[in-house]
Chain A
Amino acid sequence: MTSLAWERRRGSATRFWKAYRSHRAGLYGLAGLALIALLALTAPWTVGADVQSVTNAPGTALESPSAEFPLGTDQFGRSLLGLLIWGSRISLLVGLLAAVLSVAIGTLVGVLAGHYGGWLSTVVMRITDWFLVMPALVLAIVLATVMSRSVWTVVLAIGITCWPTTARLVRAQTIAVESRPYIERATALGGGHGHVMARHVLPNVMPLVLAQTTLGISAAILTEATLAFLGLGDPTVTSWGGMLQDAREAGAVSSGHWWYLAPPGIAIALVALAFTLCGRAVESVLNPRLGVGR
């Protein structure tokens, strides 16, 4: 029984990959992500945590790009290339965690609202609607302002402002799944609420959730950079948004030090783009009617 289920799952994963492979943009996105993940994961050996140290900075302040510092140095004399690679860890971590958090909340709310229906659904969807009309960025900024400065605050601020879209989509999908006959069969055989939601609804909304997570990560990375740029991030860790804030404070704009300013922004854009491309490819594999990849 279980082996049969696994075989079918493997089969559908293979079909998914075959369809995904035909989206060239999605493959570029995936390749880009693999490269960036490799850089971020190997950072402790390639650049090391010392790169953040202000006291033992190897260079002098605001050097132009040279052989020793390919991207120049910041106002403390630290290597910008090293900071850029090290900063990828926080940006990716916050992006991933925040997206996973928001999608988890959205999935939970959506499945519960879709499964139980009735007044619970009305109340929950009313709250969701209300979150949906809130300007997410402003709410995240306000939350980050009123809580203490840390990476977790940023994760939390992004996570609890971005879930409503997922909740709506998951609820719609849950209702669609539950109208199928096999759910009736499961209930007739004595399956309770928990069984139906966990074993039948959840596996069917998972693909949608996956697509939402991928798209959510790029939004979360951009929001993280924004919060850090506004000075609401953790000042003790290096992130790409924080580097941009440092650059602005060091007067890189008025003195025209574009080499300080350009790389972190390009890095943010590339990562966000890579996740968006993957997310859109996944979305169009799951729902060819969207016409994304046509």
Chain B
Amino acid sequence: MTTASTPAGVARAEEARATDGAPRTGVASGYLRHAAGKLGGALVSLFAVLVTSFFLFRIIPGDPVKAMTHGAPTSAEQLATLRRQFGLDLPLWQQFTDYCAKALTGDLGTSFQFRAPVGDLIAAKLPATLLLTGVAVVLYSALGLWLGTRSAWRHGGLGDRVNTGLALTLWSVPSFWLGLLLIIVFSVGMGPIPGLFPTGGMESGTGETGFAYVLDVAHHLVLPVVTLVAVGYAQTLLVMRSSLLDEMGGDYLTTARAKGLKDDDVRRRHAVPNALLPTVTMVFINLGHVAAGSILVETVFSWPGLGGLFYQALSVPDLPLVQGLFVVFAGAMILANLLADLLYPLLDPRVGR
């Protein structure tokens, strides 16, 4: 479910391209100034995230301590102790400065539900999410680039129409639903299809080691990755297709053809590198969205990652944990955007100098 991300990604890529005519100053110092500006912007955004996450969770109607005890009979004294324990008896501004100071040192509070530091809980689940989203991003970027290039090069043909149509259809599918269907068909087994893949989790827990363990994890990885790739590759495909279509009218391609280059070489060596720029930016911007989008897929496949943790935290609701994960997800987006901003001028010398 990264639907909302595409227009944003496209808008940014378009905008970056629109600054073609920027005057050139000293090349290296220009880049440093650009980088410093973007870094500063990212830090401001990060601070804004902290502010939001703090106040968003303080406007909740109701007493967090009451929510914590689940309506179990508790004396006023016990409530007061809990309140003191979680620092909820201090004035709001003091809670806020405490929160910021702690967050800077990586302390995101204590989970109501697990009675453990939020930072530790997140750190424990992070590798699983990185594995899942990393594999999915690499695969769907590659698939989207490849199909997008083919679509644009033979645009208007049957292959293009089928490609674009299929991608748009899959893009409209809710990821959690696709995941559930894949479980029914390939894990539970349907008709003649036996249960080929495990229904969830990241490992069988039968104590494999070494290569057998890697194979086991890969086996568990197949269905969640297929779900993420199927729902996500449309964006890469569409951006690649439209940016390659933009390049295709270029005079330099006519020149390349006039030199006698084969069609494949014109595409691979001349058109694609130019069309790649907006797409690469979008892939980076989407890195952050994928982490957030994996919430659904991880929940459906009981993948032991951040998304699954977020779902567990929501159902309580375990506010410090939701808050901590919100900061982490937003931080991932900011980092991804920063990477895209820093990378873009290196890829396209016309921008940001």
Q: Which residues of A contact B (CB under 8 A)?
A: 25, 129-130, 132-139, 141-143, 145-146, 148, 161-162, 164-165, 168-169, 172, 212, 215, 218-219, 222-223, 225-226, 229-232, 241, 244, 247-248, 253-256, 258, 261-262, 264-265, 268-270, 272-273, 276-277, 289-292, 294
Contact = CB atoms under 8 A, between A and B. Distances in A.
Contact of B289 (A135, A229, A241): A135
Interface string B148-169: 0000000110000000010011
Given A222-B1, A261-B180, A273 B172 contact: yes
B172 A254 contact: no
A219 B3 contact: yes
Given A146-B59, A219-B3, 15 more contacts: A132-B12, A133-B45, A134-B52, A137-B4, A137-B292, A138-B310, A138-B326, A215-B7, A222-B1, A229-B174, A241-B174, A269-B172, A269-B173, A273-B169, A273-B172
20 contacts: A129-B45, A133-B288, A135-B289, A135-B332, A137-B1, A137-B292, A146-B57, A146-B60, A165-B11, A218-B172, A223-B1, A226-B296, A247-B180, A256-B188, A258-B185, A264-B177, A268-B174, A269-B174, A294-B155, A294-B156
A269 B245 CA distance: 27
Interface stretch (B118-126, B311-319, B343-351): B311-319
Contact of B296 (A229, A269, A294): A229
A30 to B, nearest CB: 15
Interface residues of B, number: 66
Given A138-B329, A269-B174, A276-B171, A292 B242 contact: yes
B330 A256 contact: no
A139 B295 CA distance: 13
A244 B176 contact: yes
Q: Which 8 A-B pairs have the closest CB atoms?
A: A265-B177, A135-B292, A272-B172, A291-B245, A273-B172, A165-B7, A136-B4, A269-B173
A229 B1 CA distance: 13
B48 interface: yes
Interface string B31-46: 0000000000100010
B184 interface: yes
Interface in B316-353: 317, 322, 325-326, 329-330, 332-334, 337
A258 B190 contact: yes
A139 B330 CA distance: 9
B178 interface: yes
A278 to B, nearest CB: 12
B239 to A, nearest CB: 11
Contacts of A247: 180
Contact of B1 (A226, A258, A261): A226
A134 B332 CA distance: 9
B61 interface: yes
A277 B168 contact: yes
Q: Which of B174, B185, B337 counts the most A-chain CB atoms under 10 A from its CB?
A: B174
B169 A133 contact: no
A222 B245 contact: no
Nearest to B164: A25
Contacts of A132: 8, 12
A253 to B, nearest CB: 5
B3 A218 contact: yes
B39 to A, nearest CB: 14
A139 B57 CA distance: 12
Given A165-B7, A269-B174, A291-B242, A258 B181 contact: yes
A138 to B, nearest CB: 5
Nearest to A132: B8
Contact of B330 (A138, A223, A232, A265): A138
A272 B173 CA distance: 8
B56 interface: yes
Contacts of B296: 226, 229-230
